[in-house]
Structures are given as structure tokens and as C-alpha cells.
Structure 1
Amino acid sequence: MQGQAVSKEPDNTEETRREDYRNAMAKLGAAVHIVTTSGAAGRAGFAATAVCSVSDNPPTLLVCLNKTSSAYWPVKGNGTICVNVLSSDHQDLSRLFGGKTPVEERFAGASWTELPSGGLALDGALASFDCEITSVADGHSHDILICRVLETQVSDGGQSLIYLNRGYHAV
């Protein structure tokens, strides 16, 4: 029966739907960022692709933060973050901040500039957004942080680091 499609009952288990969703999301390319915080609640950082612009009046962006992340309580406690847009040269740094690496080792992998808000701007980032968290929404496994941008820094040149199909790409 060559050329005929074989139909089967769809597997609608929760685990299958979750895996199908993750496989589909792997096709959605996204810029890679390191989000940092520093202050009374501690110093922390994490790699993120779930970052996007909300508005330019006032400048506002959105960041999703996993509730099980080691950065969760420092970010929530400090109330400020810095979103650093990574260049294609930052793949190793992204891996450090995306894994279970201790916080001291993460920050030792690059040079940082402390901002007045307490965020840490990555030296050599394509752009950095110094932000105050203005509201938080529940996104099930993640919190959705709505952040007012206090200041931006932009560097000249460089290629963006994109995560697509479970791998890094330069654009």
C-alpha cells in the first residue's frame, strides 16, 4: 500500500502533548539573553530566550522566569534585572548560565558592570536593558515579569546569538 497514509489513534496523554509542544517550540528561533540581578536578595543570573518587547511608551519588556530557577528568589527579592542580549561569541557563557553551574562560576566567565539599579550589564553584550520589575503574572511553571526599562546600552556590530532546533546559530 505504497503512497497511502496510515491513520492511527492520536496519543493524547499529557506527556505526549508536552513533548509535542516542546518539539514544535524548538522550531521557534529566539535571541539568547542572560538576565542578571544583584542586591540585598543576592546575585544571580539565568539564560533566557523568553524575552520580548511590550511597549516603547513607556519602554517595557517581558521576561519569563522559571519558578524552579536558582535565580528565582534573588530576582523576586531585588525587584530589578538587567537583560543582556548575547552575541554569537557568547555561546559558552549561555551554557554556563543555562545549566546548574554555581553562581560564582557563572559570573567568573565574563566581565560585568554593575548598574545603579543593581543589575549587571555584560561587557560586550549587543544590548543591555536595565529594568525595574513592575508587575508579575502567573505563567504556570514560570512567572511572567513585566519590566520598565530604566536605561539601555547598545554596542556597535556583532552577530546575534539565536537558539533554534535545540542549537545555537549566529545571525
Structure 2
Amino acid sequence: MAETVLKAADAAPGGAVLSDELRAGFKGAMRRLASGVAVITANGANGPLGLTATSITSMCAEPPTVLVCVNQSASIHGALAVGQPICVNLLARDQQDVSGAFGGKLPPEERFGVGNWEPDHNGVSRLVDAQANISGTIDQLTPYGTHSIVIVRVEDVRLTGPVSPLIYQDGGYL
């Protein structure tokens, strides 16, 4: 088996400079990581906002907390702030259409037309037939590179149906 080892270019003052080779290698490595798919929702000034995300993980059980990474250029990003409610909707295997709609196939104002949505206890849109809905409040928001790390303190969890998650890897669904 061939092995490729890539390293960052010489560090410049203030941080490392990534070579094109390392950047491409990193993207290739991340494409090999299978991830569950979710739609993150929040309330914006003009109504509900949402985006498809795969950078989600449980952080701790005491207190129940999840970590979500959101690109700072995403339309939902401006609505994210400490103390604001948010909902993480874990998608089921048959919800590729929802993932696509919130992943950019539809403009933001048309996305909630795909799937059956209702407000959670905070008034944030939750997908009725998602694998799970995790509702909570943003406890911490930390910018890092092109993204923000969003730490959500969980307030409510709703489970639906059998475990049958939508999984994304290498640019497609498994």
C-alpha cells in the first residue's frame, strides 16, 4: 500500500502556512471520515434559518452538551450567539432530500418547504421525523479559522423511530 506523508510549510510569524499539497491531503483525509448528517436550525431576524452539518459530536453528559462547527460564511451564522436557542436535527437514512435542501440545493427562504417542521419548546424549528432532535441554548461560541465552535447546552431531546442514520462520506451518502 502506498503511503503519502504531507507536512505544513515552514511556519510564518503568527502561524503555519499551509501548502496546497497539505490542504489537498487534509481534504482527502476528511472525505474518508464517515459522519452522521444533521440540520442545525435557529431563529433569525426574518424567520427560521438552517444548514446541513456533519461536524457534530457529543461533548459531555454532565451537563448534556453537544459541539457543532459552523462555517462563518453560512447564512445561519449571524443568528448564533451565546444564550440563543438552537436545534440539532439528526437525519434519518431516507432524508437525503432534507440534507440537500439545507446543504445549498435550495435558497435559504425555500429550505423549510422540504420536510415536516414544527417549533420546539424554544420556538426553534425541529424536523418532526428526524432520528433525534436535540434542543438547547448556545453556551459558548468560539471563532476558529473559517468556522465557529458552537457549544450547546442540551435542554430537550426527542427520539423518533428505529436507529437508521443518514451517513455521509467521500461526497455521497452511504
Give the TM-score band, short-chain normalised: 0.7 to 0.9
* TM-superposition CA deviations, 1:5-64 (whole Å, max 9, x none): 9xxx98956222111100100011000000001255642000000000001111000000
- Checking the alignment, whether the CA contact within 8 Å between 2:81 and 2:141 is kept in structure 1 is no
8 A Cα contact 1:96 1:106, kept in partner = yes
Off by >4 Å, runs of 4+ in structure 1: 9-13
Q: Which residue identity is paired with 2:77?
A: Y
In the alignment, which residue of structure 2 is the partner of 1:116? 121
Q: Residue 84 of structure 2 aligns with which residue?
A: 79
TM-score, normalization by structure 2? 0.85
Listed as ranges, the gaps of 5+ residues in structure 2 are: 10-17
Map of 2:153 onto structure 1: 148
What residue in structure 2 maps to residue 168 of structure 1? Answer: 173
Amino acid across the alignment from 1:156: G
How many residue pairs match? The answer is 163
Q: Which of 46, 60, 68 in structure 2 is aligned with 1:63?
A: 68
- In the superposition, the TM-score normalised over structure 1's length comes to 0.86
1:104-155 deviations in Å (ceiling 9; x for gaps): 2100011111012132110110000001000112221100001100100001
Q: Which residue of 1 aligns with 2:138?
A: 133
Code of the residue aligned with 1:149 in structure 2: it is V
SS in 2 for 1:104: helix
Distance 2:145 2:50 in 1: 21
For 1:145 and 1:46, the matched residues in 2 are separated by 14
1:20 aligns with 2:14: no
Q: Which moved more, 1:81-90 or 1:151-160?
A: 151-160
Which structure has the greater CA radius of gyration?
A: 1
Question: Alpha-carbon deviation of 1:156?
Answer: 2.0
Structure 1: runs of 5+ lacking an equivalent:
none
Q: 1:158 Cα shift?
A: 4.7
Partner of 2:173: helix, strand, or coil?
Answer: strand
Segment drifting more, 94-103 vs 132-141:
94-103
